[in-house]
Structure 1
Amino acid sequence: MKLIKVAAGVVNQIPMAWEHNRRNLIDAIEEAKSQNVSILCLPELCITGYGCEDMFFSHELVEQSKQSLLEIVPHTDGIIVAVSLPLRLANNRTYDTACLIANKRILGFVCKQVLANNGIHYETRWFQPWTAGVRDEIQIGEFVYPVGDLLFDVSGVKIGFEICEDAWISNRPGRSLHERGVDIILNPSASHFSFYKSHVRERFVIDGSRAFGVSYIYCNLVGNESGRAIFDGDAMIASNGQLLVSGPRFSYADHLIVTAVIDVDDTRLSQTQTKVNLAYLFPNLRVAAQFDFPYVKPVVQKAELEYWEHDSHLKEEEFARAVALALFDYLRKSRSHGFVLSLSGGADSSAIAALVSLMIRMADESIGLDAFKKKLSYIKSIQKLKTVEEICGALLTTIYQGTENSSKDTYESAESLAKSIGATFYNININGLVETYTKLIEDQLGRPLTWETDDVALQNIQARVRAPSAWLLANIQNALLLSTSNRSEASVGYATMDGDTAGSISPIAGIDKHYLRGWLRWLETVGVGGTIKVEGLQKVNNLQPTAELRPLDKKQTDEEDLMPYDVLNAIEKFGIRDKLSPKEVMQQVEVVFENQYDRATLYTSVDRFFRLWSRNQWKRERYAPSFHVDDENVDPKTWCRFPILSSGFEKELAELKEYVEGNEGRGRKGKIGF
């Protein structure tokens, strides 16, 4: 047996925060050394931060990252460490690289071969993909180092790299490394969170270790690094098709080390049974170095999921934990002193209030309230507080702003929720402000504004009048104003610009309303981890979603204004994510909702969705930053770009109408009149 103790390191970084990032990396290295780790892999672009965007074009950023690297190297005595940074070579191209350091000596730089360029990722904008089988050199300071597609031979232990996206393709670099007899593959990643994505990562880590006959070390960033993407801190080590360890996700710690003991001779035994194509054994791609691997005792190890990952409500758990962590990082990294929320008593604002409460409770579970307060040491008002509820009262200010169209039910819903989580709760009546604005315009127009002639305008002025008071509170408290629109509303523009869209950040703009309502019921009755419930959600969970902007006798509901939320969600998925035409979407929803909704409802919904989607792209362009949590995101800055001006699907909607009319009387339910 040749046993080696290895580790996957997880860090919470900030773009271009040189001292912060360097300190996290050094602390992670020191922690690994204290645990007698010989090989430590740290995440992709961990020196600069992954989300530097167009600053990757900056010459200064590349130079600063090299300087940080040189300041990290002296801390690698007695350990082999992989850290990642951008490098610019003599061809004036920038590459996403991983640097391997052994005992205070830089061995070389491996360049990423496959760049992520879908959805939230735009790596080909900043980086050049490296060509497999090519080696070059780069000078840093007084020394020249190899760079490119490299295999490191460290005292007979062969170490190679797959950098994040490299492992997500079929013809992955690990295949070539396998042909060269690699023992250990390191995968430094910056893989954004989305629902169930950890399962995919686990498969390619285990499959890679089995197919290539290696030990595979995978690590990821953690936290809300740069505003929109959330990283879950996934860390795994597998060997010969067996997952040895899996680290905790969504940690509030600055760094985590996940360790395992691997047997190099065991993986080599599996490789002896595989025929090697000698044509792939490029001797010029090997980098040799010496390292004294210490003796390690055998251990029994088997990866186990965290307690909450066994549950059937994994999506609900992931949503709660991901957004709570993202809110915490956004708060502390922006140096804000808390949150302000216009709490209407409806599902959207109630979900956000609950998430802020969960932010504190999850932090308490992860690192404890003392460490939580230390991370927010600049907020003096919370330092002497002892409970989650007390801290919530200091960090979250809510305000209910009623008009004559607001009901007693929504007020009681808002008040009871705020009381149950400990949030500060204010109640003001803005009816006089609405009447003042309305009167000013009526005087200029020379006519009264009525619901028959000015419905949308009278609804919107109520939503807009709420924004100044909320902004005023946010400014007074140096706090973040939380916008309350969800993804379903963003898709069809069912939101008042400068009203409910007003805010510094929009926590739920990446999730649909249909899912959100179910999540609120789960949070009330089941709770995070089966224990952390928000019982103050009972009243909102018994309400029908409504904007409460029309007179109460109109009995306004969101779904009557728009369409059933489950139908809206399905249309968005087929039409926007899958890029199907209106006619094809209609064919899909007829199958999905057969015997649930009549054909007229489905046709009207599809037609309305595409018209509203096209008309309201300008609203999506103006939304506050939102968190990316799945692949149906409609944020044009991270996932789905669409022209502000377009044809509005005129031809396609005409084809939809022809399809529906042509299928009348063919056994389908529901008559549609034109």
Structure 2
Amino acid sequence: MVFGLRKRILESIRIAKSRGATMRVGPELEITGYGCLDHFLEGDTCLHSWEVLAKILDSEEVKGMLCDIGMPVVHKNVIYNCRIIIYGRRVLLIRPKMWLANNGNYREMRYFTPWMKHRQTEDHYLPRIIHAVTGQTKVPFGDAVVSTVDTCIGVELCEELFTPASPHIDMGLDGVEIFTNSSGSHHELRKLYTRVELIKEATLKLGGIYLYANQQGCDGDRLYYDGCAMIACNGKIVAQGSQFSLNDVEVVTATLDLEDVRAHRAVISRNMQAASAERYQRIEVDFALSGGKFDSVRDLEDVVLNDFPIHYHRPEEEIALGPACWLWDYLRRSRTQGYFVPLSGGIDSCATSVIVFSMCRLVAEAAQRGDKQVIEDARRIAGEPEDSSYMPNDAREFCNRIFHTCYMGTENSSEETRGRAKALAQAIGSYHTDLNMDTVVTAVRNLFAFVTGVKPKFRAHGGTAAENLALQNIQARLRMVIAYLFAQLLPWVRGRSGGLLVLGSANVDESLRGYLTKYDCSSADINPIGAISKTDLKKFIAWAETSFDLPILKTFLDAVPTAELEPITETYVQADEADMGMTYDELSVFGRLRKVDKCGPYSMFTKLVHEWGSFLSPLQVAEKVKHFFFEYARNRHKMTTLTPSYHAEQYSPDDNRFDLRPFLYPARFPWQFKKIDQVAATLPDRSTVKPAEAKARMEEA
């Protein structure tokens, strides 16, 4: 892993130099990758980091460049998340992170310790492998800034930008003109705007140049780091990298005038604060970032003067691109031969399949651009020999090679869902199989009858609720068994070696509600939609219908969501929202209030009485809230086995990484529910909307 990252670091330095850059900033912990997790506690990780840094220091690429590189460092037997500032073959400064990310997806304090000696440095004694290259015995370690011949540079590390008292404020008041931020920031739908605004704000009042570098790609876990490297000056974004890309290396450059920073800071109120600012230790280096006077009109033209149009993807595009890039990284790193999806004919497995098709489109576009790494990976995944001339230029053709779908029907399945699944497979080009698994279901049902002497029946045939649920669950669980059988053997059937990864297709709302069978076909290797709401998935499918030219998707949007696990009768057709006792739109609201707004049952009730009070009575709101928490609590145990999912939503219920809550609850919340009932009975009914209009109002809310 570190060997591949070393090559990418050196390639980024080479590209930056070729564009005339004199300073290069990389993402957080770039030598190891951010996602090492508990491997950061192993001595080998730090040892190999120094070995890689020694190779970088000894390379031709770093000559004449000031570089900011990230890795873990053990200082006095304490592990720190650090930036190594180097120039030529010398280490100038090791700057440890002071404010650590320790919430949501991040557990930095499990591995690292924050540097609490602000504006202080100590001597750090370098390992022999670095001494052999640089001749240095010790270097400054701590909170300092780097002073070049022409300017002053300060380091800010990822989370430090998000803290109320960010280091860039004090550094800027002490004369630092350039700030670097090396980040490991993950993608969430609609999150980029917050990051952009923070970067702009960092230099709007203060003045200065802000260089923001972020990882891009899957780092071995549920997160996708969505790049979007940026350069800002005096509160304006002047350069922006891509947010989603298959590129291994991407470099963003800009030429800026330091005099613009100095002019921006010529404000009396700012200077009064600056005059009393505490000083930072300056690590001096005999090097100038600027080339002195402009040598030509061309140099003047390179200076960025105008506003840069910031690009934001629509959420539908984010769903199309983020999980697709994540799937590509997962596929190439796992060295498997493709993906397998149980395609039910419903919108969730449809969305999963369209995301895989989006991945194939990105591969085809990269191949058409001549991206050698993507072409090499695509050939290997498609089973082509090393000397093959195969080019993955056609998305549907490549999809047929690496993507396998299967409709697993029973007597409870409809011809509509079977037809939709087949039509979608044809539209995107997947290798599709269609089977009827009634014989397998009947065999298990007969086995139970043979052993116990009684045969369970569906509710439609006079069975109890327990019988009905058990017969539904056995269908769902058998689909998982069949999915893995086909995933392991379909490449063999097609004359190829290797196996396929099984993709799950349970959305975040179903997981939150627990509306899935434990160890059913939602149990898979990875799940690209596991943290995306049903509402957003519908919008994504509507967008993809035209953007990907897939008219078949209209039929998925029009269909009523159903598991098709119960017999269809003249008076009954199974429907997801009816089974759940709540709508998908309501689930999204419950999820955000529970996780993002940190609401328990009572505080959720009080909020929703105000938000929904115009179309629901307090008693109706109370029943909905109690029903959600009852179902959430009694199904929470299912989250302990949730398929690893692409993280895309702040209210993901992923028990394994993101949502650290108990899985055993008193499901009827006796204290909280009693208080809800008492308050609901005393509140006036402000609802004026007729029942027929309530659902529409709910969707609008």
What is the TM-score with the length of structure 1 in the denominator?
0.91
Shift of 1:515: 2.4
1:306/1:424 CA distance change after superposition, 3 Å: farther
Q: Which moved more, 1:554-563 or 1:73-82?
A: 73-82
Letter in 1 for 2:343: L
Deviation at 1:655, TM superposition (A): 2.2
2:477 is the counterpart of 1:464:
yes
Aligned mate of 1:557, from 569, 575, 584? 575
Give the AA of the match of 2:119. Answer: G
Corresponding position: 1:535 with 2:535: no
Conserved 8 A contact 2:601-2:672: yes
Q: Distance in 1 between matches of 2:665 and 2:504?
A: 27
Q: What is the correspondence of 1:196-235 to structure 2 with a 5 Å cutoff? A: 196-235=190-229
Question: Which residue is equivalent to 2:356?
Answer: 356
Offset at 1:385?
A: 4.8
**CA-to-partner distance for each residue in 1:560-614, whole Å, 9 max, x for gaps?**
0011111122122213332223233233334444565676664443222111211
Distance 1:117 1:665, change over 3 A: closer
- Larger RCO, structure (CA 8 Å, separation 6 or more): 1
Distance in 2 (CA, whole Å) between partners of 1:576 and 1:325 is 27
Match among 272, 275, 294 for residue 272 of structure 2 = 275
1:63 counterpart residue number: 47
The 2-side partners of 1:328 and 1:306 are apart by 26
Q: Which secondary structure does the structure 2 equivalent of 1:261 belong to?
A: coil
Q: Letter of the aligned partner of 1:546 in structure 2? A: T
Q: Which residue of 1 aligns with 2:699?
A: none
Separation (CA, whole Å) in 1 of partners of 2:391 and 2:75: 52
- Report the residue type matching 2:84 in the other structure: C
Show the counterpart of 1:513. 534
Task: Report if the CA contact (8 A) 1:583-1:659 is conserved.
Answer: no
Do the aligned residues in 2 keep the contact of 1:589 with 1:602 (CA within 8 Å)? yes
- Look up the SS of the partner of 1:440 in the other structure: helix
SS of residue matched to 2:254: strand
Aligned pair partner of 2:403 in 396, 420, 429:
396
Q: Any conservation in 1 of the 2:615–2:690 contact (CA below 8 Å)? A: no
Equivalent-residue separation in structure 1 for 2:309 and 2:400 (angstroms): 34
Partner of 2:81: 96
Alignment of 1:616-631 (within 5 A): 616-631=635-650
Q: In the alignment, which residue of structure 2 is the partner of 1:417?
A: 424
- What does residue 373 of structure 1 align with? 375
2:187 matches 1:193: yes
Contact 2:340 2:503 in 1 (8 A): yes
Displacement of 1:253 in angstroms is 0.4
Query: Are 1:441 and 2:441 an aligned pair?
Result: no
The structure 2 residue matched to 1:87, chosen from 61, 73, 89, is 73
CA distance in 2, matches of 1:337, 1:600: 54
SS of the equivalent of 1:397 reads strand
Aligned residues: 644
Q: Secondary structure at the match of 2:656?
A: coil
The reply to whether residue 31 of structure 1 matches residue 31 of structure 2 is no
Question: Which secondary structure does the structure 2 equivalent of 1:616 belong to?
Answer: helix
1:658 aligned residue (678, 688, 692): 678
* Greater CA drift, 54-63 or 602-611: 602-611
Unaligned runs of 5+ in 2: 132-136, 385-389, 492-498, 692-701
CA distance in 1 between partners of 2:369 and 2:276 (Å): 58
SS of equivalent to 2:256: strand
**Match 2:123 to one of 113, 137, 145:** 137
Are the equivalent residues in 1 in contact too, given 2:145–2:283 (CA < 8 A)? yes
Per the alignment, do residues 596 and 343 of structure 1 end up closer, same or farther by CA in structure 2, a change over 3 Å counting?
A: farther
Alignment correspondent of 2:282: 286
Q: Deviations over 1:532-564 (max 9, x none)?
A: 343231221110000000101130000000111
Q: CA deviation at 1:439?
A: 0.8
Matched, 1:344 2:376: no
CA contact (8 A) 2:148 2:288 kept: no
Instruction: Please name the residue that 2:633 is paired with.
Output: 614
Aligned amino acid, residue 105 of structure 1: R
CA-to-aligned-CA distance 1:147-183 (integer Å, 9 cap, x gap): 1101101223211111111111121101121122112
Q: Deviations over 1:245-295 (max 9, x none)?
A: 112210110011111111122212333432355564436x21011125435
The equivalent position to 2:563 in structure 1, one of 547, 551, 556, is 547
Residue in structure 2 matched with residue 152 of structure 1 by the alignment: 146
- Superposed CA RMSD in Å reads 2.2
Q: 1:209 deviation in Å?
A: 2.0
**Contact between 1:363 and 1:369, CA under 8 Å: does it hold in 2?**
no
Distance 2:310 2:266 in 1: 35
1:12 alignment counterpart: none
Please report how far the alpha carbon of residue 300 of structure 1 lies from its aligned counterpart in structure 2 after TM superposition.
Answer: 5.1
Q: Is the 8 A contact 2:183 2:212 kept in 1?
A: yes
* SS of the residue 2:563 aligns to: coil
- Cα displacement (A) at 1:351: 0.3
Alignment partners' CA distance in 2, 1:369 and 1:548: 44
2:73, 2:143 → 1: CA distance?
14
1:598–1:670 Cα contact (<8 Å) kept: no
Distance (whole Å) between structure 2 residues aligned to residue 665 and residue 332 of structure 1: 58
Separation in structure 2 between the aligned mates of residue 561 and residue 624 of structure 1, nearest angstrom = 23
Alpha-carbon shift at residue 384 of structure 1 (Å)? 4.9
Normalising by structure 2, we get a TM-score of 0.88
**CA–CA distance in 1 between the matches of 2:686 and 2:333?**
60
